[in-house]
Structure 1
Amino acid sequence: MTSLKQRAGEAAAALVEPGMVVGLGTGSTAIFAARNIAERLRAGGLRDIVAIATSRATEAAARELGIFLLADDIPREIDITIDGADEVDPSLDLIKGGGGALLREKIVAQASRREVIVVDESKLSPRLGTHWALPVEVLEFGWRSQARFLQSLGAAVIPREVDGVLFRTDQGNMILDSRFGPITDPTALSAKLGARAGIVGHGLFIGIAQDLFVAGADGVRHVRREGPSA
């Protein structure tokens, strides 16, 4: 599995050109893209690259790799962001947030000219929600009311914990993992969640990804939103 993730990450990193502002994604697949970018910088094949990290963990990794980071206020438009996903449907819509960085990931994605997703083929799904619960980031204040709201929409809700302790995002918020099952209308659900006070982010990424790199037994396949490419 690791070799598949590496192949996908490195294929996506090949899109990075000198002088770009690059969004660095969070997770086990996206880190391979960051490592490839760092290797090319050290070898002289890339220059004048600056980056925005989608999480504190990615920020720490980028500093260790020697990639220069811009300020968190994102002072420049991002040329390309390379990130992973937990589930991808045939329309290139996504569920993200398994690593807990969904809010920062979406801010960076929406500030990018091009959002590139890297996955192995196990993340492909006929319909979002088939294999993965939807992460919903909420303020701690009133979080049980958000859980009831999500339940009213048909979700089974579990507050995310790590080692028996409530998980906190980089923003200090909670995540309610909400299992809807296959989601019939992700766009409508996204709108309902976005209109709810106290919900500060959710893992539905609708109409955001332009490119998908999928690694499988037969190699890496590049799919663009307008159609597949070799």
Structure 2
Amino acid sequence: MHAQSDLNNDNVIDNVMSSFQQIQSQIQQNKIAAPAPAPAAPTERSRHEVIFPPSKIKVGANEFEVSLHAPPMSILREFTHIFGPNILPPNTSLFVIPTIQPSLVGSLLNWTNVVSLEKDRLLECFLNLCTSLIPQILPPHIFFDYIDPCSGLPMLHPSNKIYDEVAGCSELLNLRVYNAGGCKVLTHNEYGDGGYPATIFLGGEREEVMRFYQMVVNLYSGNNGT
């Protein structure tokens, strides 16, 4: 009886090994696709979601590149550090709109009167977007704030903690950063070092924030902006 049982077990093992060898042979001959590797554990960057990729809007004569993001954990932590843990409405999420304006004078690295005046102009254009235009169509229950590009501080909620806009735009838009004279410089794919970064934060339910963002883009696409 034991001899018969051992013989049956040997047959099962032989059959399994034979099937395994056949599958290996078929995989090598590309007859069967090899199983996909298990996905890597999620990282901070992998949690970042580009909800709407970069597109152009025009406010008056000035162009903005804008996009909508569900930010990675690194930016969520920085946001909480700056604004506090309970700033967003309950059961809502944080979203980020990084904006880039192209300089009309090329590189913004030179310390000249022309560059200084251009930075002032770009700042005024961003502030106009955030203080005059967006509030006209912003639903009252969506959290809204924007960062002062000069100081790195929030404009609508008091805080003495600085948001690193260059690092934030680099992470969200996958843009290169390099050091120039001790300053971090963002290199845009189209504008080079002539891009002026600035950041808008929104908090709300995902679908509502998406509708609001699309409204902004539709309103200011082409030459509709004022």
TM-score (norm 1): 0.26
Query: Quick check: which has more Rg, 1 or 2?
Result: 2
Comparing both chains, which one has the higher relative contact order based on Cα–Cα distances under 8 Å and sequence gaps of 6 or more? 2
